[in-house]
Amino acid sequence: MDVRLIGYARCSTREQSPDRQIIALRKFGVSEENIVVEMMSGKNFQRPAYQELVNQLKPGDAVVIDSLDRLGRDRDAVVDEWRRITKEQGADIVVLDMLPLLDTRQKDRDITASFVADLVLQILSYVSEKERLLNRERQSAGIAAAHQRGVKFGRKPIKKPVNFEATRKLWECGEISASEAARRLGVSRPTFMVWTGKN
C-alpha cells in the first residue's frame, strides 16, 4: 500500500506566515507537493482546502500538522474531526509538537497507549478551547475597564461645521434638500440626518 504523508498548514490571517509550519512538515518528511496551506480561521471546519484534503484521504494516509490548534480551535469539533479521519476514513494523524503521544500510525500499540492518546487529545482540545474563551473574557474585561476610564472606541465624531445651524434652518424651511444641506456641509446625507436628530 502506498502510504502518503500529507501536510496541513494553516494561518488565521494573511498577515501571518505559514513558513515555520512548512519547514517543520518538510523536516518530518512531507514532500513539497503534499503540503496544503490554508489562510483561514480555525473556528470551524468549513475550509475548502482542508475539506478537499480530507475527502481525498485513503486508508493508511497520514495527515501531518505542526500543532493541534492548526487542525482547529473548537474542542468538540476537533475531537469529532479526529475520529472522522482515524475511524471513518482509516487514515492517521501526526501532531509534530506532541510526538509520540499524538501519532496514530503506531498500529501495534496496545490498548493503554491508544487510551493515553485519546486522553491527551481530549485534554489538549479542552485547554485550547479554555484558552480561547479566557482570551475573549480578558478582551471583554479590558474593554469594560477602558469604558470606565472614559476611553471612546470607534471613529471620532465629526465636528459640525460653523455653518451647520444656518444650513439646518434652510433645510427645515424646505428651501434646500437634505442632500444639498449635506453637500454644503461636506458630509454624507446620513451624517447630516444624524446631526439633525431626524435619522
Question: How distant, in Å, are the alpha carbons of 7, 32, 34, 69, 145 from that of 23?
Answer: 11, 10, 13, 17, 41
12 is known as an active-site residue: yes
Q: In the CATH hierarchy, which fold is given to the domain comprising 5-133?
A: Rossmann fold (3.40.50)
Q: How confident is the model at residue 199 (pLDDT cuts 50, 70, 90)?
A: low
pLDDT in tens, 2-25: 679 999 999 998 888 999 999 999
Choose the catalytic residue: 12, 17, 114, 179.
Answer: 12
pLDDT in tens, 142-154: 888 888 888 877 7
Q: What is the pTM of this model?
A: 0.62
Q: How are the residues of the chain apportioned to helix, strand and coil, as percentages rounded to the nearest 5? A: 55, 10, 35
For the chain, the domains span 5-133, 164-196
